[in-house]
């Protein structure tokens, strides 16, 4: 899962390509040491380019080459070690929440038992 997604960035004309390429270079240089651009995906019509290149009409269904893209999506992600640390922290938080819920349920059961007169 990407940390940040820049969707539908214009990439159709030469001017748009130049500006977007410059923005991608700027973004790469500006990211902190924890992040990286994980992928850049081309968006736009696929069938006409596949047929024009003599390929099957569904040839570019999975990935459209950037040279044919009208728009691009840029995915920024955490680098490996930092991704692992973030995942472990989220897991730890989830387990702490589960522990809190279980302790709350145990307290409620104990209160109910005490209410009806059962010694714990």
Contact 47, 56 (CB under 8 A): no
Query: What percentage of the chain exceeds 70 in pLDDT?
Result: 98
Of 75, 69, 48, nearest to 59 by C-alpha is 48
Summarised one tens digit per residue, pLDDT across range 11-32 is 999 999 999 999 999 998 988 8
Alpha helices in the chain (DSSP H): 14-30, 47-52, 80-115
Residue 120: pLDDT above 70?
Answer: no
Spans of all domains in the chain: 1-78, 80-120
Coil/strand/helix, residue 35: strand
Antiparallel, parallel or unpaired: β 35-43 and 4-10: unpaired
Contact 3, 12 (CB under 8 A): no
Q: What is the pLDDT of residue 32?
A: 83
């Amino acid at each position: 899962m990407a940390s940040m997604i820049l969707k539908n960035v214009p990439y159709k004309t030469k001017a748009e390509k130049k500006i977007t390429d410059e923005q991608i270079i700027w973004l790469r240089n500006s990211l902190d040491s924890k992040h990286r651009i994980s992928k850049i995906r081309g968006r736009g019509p696929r069938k006409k380019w596949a047929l024009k290149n003599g390929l099957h009409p569904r040839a570019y269904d999975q990935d459209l080459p950037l040279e044919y893209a009208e728009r691009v999506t840029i995915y920024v992600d955490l680098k490996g070690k930092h991704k692992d640390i973030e995942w472990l922290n989220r897991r730890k938080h989830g387990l702490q929440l589960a522990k809190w819920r279980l302790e709350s349920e145990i307290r409620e059961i104990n209160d109910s038992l005490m209410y009806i007169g059962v010694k714990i």
